[in-house]
Amino acid sequence: MEENINLKQSAGKHKAELEQVGKNLSESGKDLIKATANAQENEKVRKKLDEYIKEIETCIELLENL
């Protein structure tokens, strides 16, 4: 009987720990989604900056040829 009580208490602890792990994983997933979105936005900005740099280089070449 006492062993059953100990097993139930142990199971309750493990259940609580697993629930916390689940919550932590959920939060980590949300953070990962945000980080991925930020990385994609950063990539868009980088590509746009590369376009501007190419345009500036073209303008410099044109000015040098005047």
Q: How much is the pLDDT for 1? A: 77
pTM beyond cutoff 0.75: no
Q: Which two tokens stand for residue 62?
A: 């044109």
How far apart are alpha carbons 11 and 23 in whole angstroms? 18
List per-residue pLDDT tens for the chain, 66 residues long: 787 888 888 888 889 999 999 999 999 999 999 999 999 999 999 999 999 999 999 999 999 998
How far apart are alpha carbons 3 and 43 in whole angstroms? 59
3-state secondary structure of 23: helix
Provide, for the chain, the percentages of residues in helix, strand and coil under a 3-state DSSP scheme, each rounded to the nearest 5. Answer: 95, 0, 5
Q: Which two tokens stand for residue 43?
A: 């990539």
